[in-house]
Amino acid sequence: MTRGFLRLMLAGGAALCFTSVAAQADMMKSVGPGEGEVAIVAWAGYIERGETDPAYDWVTGFETATGCKVTVKTAASSDEMVSLMNAGGFDLVTASGDASTRLIAGGTVQEINTALVPSWSTVDPHLQNANWHTVDGKHYGVPYQWGANVLMYNASLFENAPTSWNVVFEETKLPDGKSNKGRVQAYQGAIYIADAAVYLKFNRPDLGITDPYALDQTQFDAVMQLLHGQRELVNRYWGDPAVQAEDFTNEGVVAAPSWPYQVNLLRAEGKVRIGSTVPKEGATGWADSTMMHVNAPHPNCAYLWMENSIQHSTQGGVAAWFGSVPSVPAACTGHALLGETGCKTNGIDNFNRIHFWRTPVAECGGGRTCVPYQDWVSSYLAVKGGV
């Protein structure tokens, strides 16, 4: 497991327009011999070669079969992924929706020829044409994994799972009779504004929020007011999963938005009882796609990896390790590591309760003008800085 993370590097917040996507490289027509390497920007835990646990290895066999050595640059946020891909030198990235749309609009990634990915037909139909990697019927990514941003909690304190996100957004007494102040966390990225919008969508219907990524100025101001208040409660704005796990173990943190990855990590360590849930308001989440740089230095190896990424063995292994849900439904059965109930445990039934990450834009449909992502970034920096 990789525990060294780069610092957050904010990407440019230019307005996005998909009616005229920036010029792309010609789509590949065939896959030739591998170039000997494939360089990937990925989330922690997404590409394992058995270094932590020999059972979790979907790299070594690929390298042996193709001759393509896999190198990985771990990124801590979608903004960092965009920055790294914009800088160039990488073949692929496992991008969430709030990064993929920017990469497409900026011409950083190229159209994928799905005919060159033989197992494409096995991908969940709900994901094959998803708007976070598909524009005008053209695919710019191969779906990899998806899941919810869960509410992780100390199960020794909470006898029953919290039913609402209010436990992290508003000051309240916890089951031990003490305040939650200084005992909860928030996510470091500006996309976390959407989590607050999901909470207010349910609890402040008067605001008329229908889409947490399409907020007009009045809705946005209400969300930011909530987040400014939350700052008084927050122990840390987390970005490093290992640091968050440490905070739950040794720093008295008892509730926080998190990824299933940390839930699995803490349960494996066994030092603190951990639970996770998707509260009544629903949750934000991520549906990640493997995308190819417009100037990928190793395009043949890149296509070979994209095919490997949706193989049953890879899909089930990633899901078991990370706590995610495979993009290939068949991987939910017959996989030794994931087990027969692994996909249910990892939240496959929550698909319709998740608001998948997406980059906010000014022209948000229906003649509305919404607050664009660059303003989300500056506003959230102000929250964290106490401005």
311 found inside a domain? yes
DSSP 213: T
Q: From the CA atom positions of the chain, what is the Rg in Å?
A: 20
Give the number of other Cβ atoms within 10 Å of residue 227's Cβ.
Answer: 21
20 found inside a domain? no
Residues 76 and 51 in one domain: yes
234 found inside a domain? yes
DSSP 52: S
Asked if 162 and 151 count as a contact pair (C-beta separation under 8 A), the reply is: yes
Residues 269 and 315 in one domain: no
* Model pLDDT, residue 231: 97
Asked if 280 and 70 count as a contact pair (C-beta separation under 8 A), the reply is: no
* CB < 8 Å & 24+ apart, contacts of 316-320: 316/342, 317/48, 317/56, 317/57, 317/58, 318/45, 318/46, 318/48, 318/58, 318/144, 318/145, 319/145, 319/343, 319/346, 320/56
Q: What number of H helices and E strands is found in the chain?
A: 13, 14
Residues 184 and 279 in one domain: yes
Residues 260 and 292 in one domain: no
19 found inside a domain? no
Q: What is the CATH number of the domain that holds 290?
A: 3.40.190.10
Residues 72 and 163 in one domain: no
Residues 376 and 272 in one domain: yes
Residues 268 and 213 in one domain: yes
Range of the domain at 299: 37-147+285-356
Residues 107 and 245 in one domain: no
22 found inside a domain? no
* Model pLDDT, residue 17: 43
Residues 269 and 370 in one domain: yes
* Model pLDDT, residue 10: 27
Distance (Å, whole) CA 296 – CA 350: 35
Q: Which two tokens stand for residue 351?
A: 């698909």
Residues 82 and 129 in one domain: yes
Residues 249 and 179 in one domain: yes
CA 291 distance to own-chain centroid: 14
The CA distances from residue 288 to 15, 249, 294, 301, 376, in Å, are 22, 29, 18, 20, 21
Distance (Å, whole) CA 380 – CA 386: 10
Residues 52 and 74 in one domain: yes
Which amino acid appears at position 259 of this protein?
A: W
* Model pLDDT, residue 387: 79
Q: Which residue has the tokens 């490289």?
A: 25
220 found inside a domain? yes
Q: Indicate the number of domains in the chain.
A: 2
Per-block average pLDDT, block size 10, for the chain (387 residues)? Answer: 26 39 70 97 95 95 98 94 97 96 95 97 96 94 97 97 98 97 96 98 98 98 98 96 96 96 92 96 97 98 98 96 96 94 93 94 93 97 92
pTM: 0.86
* CB < 8 Å & 24+ apart, contacts of 332-339: 337/55, 337/56
28 found inside a domain? no
21 found inside a domain? no
* Model pLDDT, residue 386: 87
The H or E element containing residue 347 is none
* Model pLDDT, residue 5: 23
Helix intervals (H) in 323-368:
342-345
* Model pLDDT, residue 13: 36
